[in-house]
Structure 1
Amino acid sequence: MKLVYASASPFVRKVMALMYETGQVDQVELMPVMTTPVSTPPEVRAANPMGKIPALIRDDGPALYDSRVICRYLDDRGKGGLYPDDTLWEILTLEATADGIMDAAVLMVYERRVRPDHLVSEDWVEAQWGKVSGALDALETRWMDSLNGPLNMGQIAVACALGYLDFRHDARNWRAGRGALDDWYAVFSERESMKATAPA
C-alpha cells in the first residue's frame, strides 16, 4: 500500500497516528506530494478525483480517500479496536468534530496563502475561527468523558486537530478558558504516535 501524503496536513497526521497505534507503519509506503486547492499534482488526482490528501493506494482494490474512510479501513485491517461498537456513534461524532476544526483551520491558512492579498477576506477568516472556537468549547464542555476514556479514534483526531492549531494558529491561543482540554492534550501529545507524526 502507498499513502499519498504531506506531513503538514492534520488529516494525514490522523492516518499516520493510527498507523503507529495499530503497528502498520512499516506496511505502508509514503508518497510525499506538494498540493494546494489551486495546484494538484497528477498523482494526487489519480488517487483521489477531488485532488485531496490523504489517499491510500491499495494493491487489492481502488484507492481510498477521505481520512475517515482510510482510518476505518486501516483500523479494521490492523484490528486496532479504535471504533468500538458500544460507543461507535460518539466516537464518529467526536472524530467529525475534530475534522470540522481541521477543515476550518486549513481554510484559514489557504485564505491567506492562496488568494491575492487584496482579495483576502478577514470576515471569512474570522468566521472560520468562530467554527473552531465553537467546536473547542463543545469539546471542553461536552466531550471530556469520551476524551478521558479508553483510546479511540475520536481522541486521536482531536489531538491532531489541536496539534494543527498549535502549528498554524498558535497566536489564537486556543487553550484560553479551556483548561480541561489543555490538560488532556498535554498528556495525550506525549504518546509515541503523536511525537512521531508531529507536523513539519
Structure 2
Amino acid sequence: MKILFSPTSPYVRKCLVTGLELGLNERIALLPSQAHPIQRDRAIIAHNPLGKVPTFFTDDGQVLYDSRVICEYLNDLAGGGLFPAPGPARWAALTLQALGDGMLDAALLARYEDAARPEPLRWEDWKTAQLDKIETALAALDAAPGQLTGGAGRADIGSIAVGCALWYLDLRFADLGWRDRYRQVGAWYAGYGQRPAMQARWSL
C-alpha cells in the first residue's frame, strides 16, 4: 500500500495515525507529493482529480481518497474497532470525526489566508471567522467532555480526528493558546497525545 505524503498535512497524519493504531504502518509506503491549493500538482491530479492529499493506493491497485474513506478502508482491512458497529456508538464516533475534520478544514482555510493568498487580497474577517469555528468546536467539546471519555485508553476514529486537529493547531497556531480556555480538552489531550500513534513522526 502507498500514500501520497506531506509531513505537515493533518489529513495524511490522520491516516497514518489510524494505520499505526491498527498495526498496519509498516505496510504503507510514503510517496512524495507537492500538494498546494494554488499551484496544483498534476502528478496528484493524475490519480485524484481533486489534486489533494491524502491519496492512497491499495495493493490491488484501487485509488482511495479522502481521509474518511482511507481510514475506514484501513480499519476494515485490519479487522479493527476504530469504527464501531452500527448503533449509537458509531454515530457518536462519526459525528466526533466530523467535528475534528471541520476544525481542520477551518484551520487550513485560515492558514491558506496567510500562506497562499497575496497580502493585498487577504481578508482578516474571513480568517477570524474560520478561527471562530475552531473556538466554538473546542467550546462544545469542553462543555461536554464525555464525548472524549476514556482518556489515553480510548482510540476510535472520532478521537483520532480531534487529536490530529489539536496537533495541527499546535503546529500552525501555537499562539492560539487554546489550552488556557478549554481546560477539559487540554486535560484529555495531555493524556491522549502521549499515545505512541500520536507521538509518531513521519518523514520521507
Shift of 1:174: 1.3
CA distance in 1, matches of 2:78, 2:184: 31
RMSD: 1.4
CA distance in 1, matches of 2:17, 2:197: 5
- Aligned identity (percent) is 42
Which residue does 1:38 correspond to in 2?
38
CA distance in 2, matches of 1:140, 1:61: 42
Q: How does 1:154-173 map to 2 (within 5 A)?
A: 154-173=158-177
Instruction: Indicate if the aligned counterparts of 2:141 and 2:147 stay in contact, CA closer than 8 A.
Output: no
Return closer, same or farther for 1:57/1:25 CA change in 2, 3 Å cut-off. same
Which residue does 1:103 correspond to in 2?
105
Total equivalences in the alignment = 198
Return closer, same or farther for 1:64/1:30 CA change in 2, 3 Å cut-off. same
Q: How does 1:1-200 map to 2 (within 5 A)?
A: 1-85=1-85, 86=87, 87-142=89-144, 144-149=145-150, 150-197=154-201
Question: Which amino acid letter does the alignment assign opposite residue 117 of structure 2?
Answer: R
Instruction: Indicate if the aligned counterparts of 2:100 and 2:162 stay in contact, CA closer than 8 A.
Output: yes
Instruction: Indicate if the aligned counterparts of 1:101 and 1:135 stay in contact, CA closer than 8 A.
Output: yes
Report SS of the residue matched to 1:130: helix
Using the size of structure 1 for normalisation, the TM-score is 0.94
Instruction: Indicate if the aligned counterparts of 1:47 and 1:57 stay in contact, CA closer than 8 A.
Output: no
Using the size of structure 2 for normalisation, the TM-score is 0.92
**Which runs of 5 or more residues in structure 2 are unaligned?**
none
CA distance in 1, matches of 2:140, 2:170: 19
Report SS of the residue matched to 2:181: coil
Runs of 4+ aligned residues of structure 1 deviating over 2 Å after TM superposition are none
**Which runs of 5 or more residues in structure 1 are unaligned?**
none
